[in-house]
């Protein structure tokens, strides 16, 4: 099963939680997703498992087509996104 499909490439279901935790809560993902989010495709290839290495275009398609541009594209954007989302959680929890 796949979480997302893009032009025949797929993001497998087992990657959904890491994507959602990052996007919704600002939690830092693992090395592979971090590399994708930061647009460091060389590092993404180094950290990809056998399934994900074949499906990197699906991740690019997902971020480009379904997420705000302020949450991906560079390390700085990723860091800012995580800080913003974590601050939102603190405010929601009255901390």
The 3-class SS string of 61-78 reads HHHHHHCCHHHCCCHHHH
Q: What is the pLDDT of residues 33-75, one digit of tens each?
A: 999 999 999 999 999 999 999 999 999 999 999 999 999 999 9
Placement of tokens 């560079």 in the chain: 74
Q: How many CA atoms lie within 13 A of 45 on its CB side?
A: 3
The SS3 call for residue 51 is coil
The pLDDT of residue 82 is 98
The pLDDT of residue 93 is 87
Burial 67-80 (b: 16+ CB within 10 A, else e): eeeebbeeeebbee
Contacts of 74 (CB under 8 A, 6+ apart): 38, 39
The SS3 call for residue 6 is strand
């Amino acid at each position: 099963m796949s979480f997302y499909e893009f032009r025949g490439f797929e993001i497998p279901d087992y990657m959904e939680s890491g994507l959602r935790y990052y996007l919704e809560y600002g939690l830092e993902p693992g090395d592979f997703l971090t590399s994708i989010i930061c647009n460091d495709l060389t590092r993404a290839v180094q950290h990809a498992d056998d399934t994900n290495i074949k499906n990197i275009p699906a991740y690019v398609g997902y971020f480009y087509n379904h997420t705000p541009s302020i949450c991906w594209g560079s390390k700085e954007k990723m860091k800012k996104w995580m800080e913003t989302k974590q601050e939102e959680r603190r405010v929601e929890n009255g901390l």
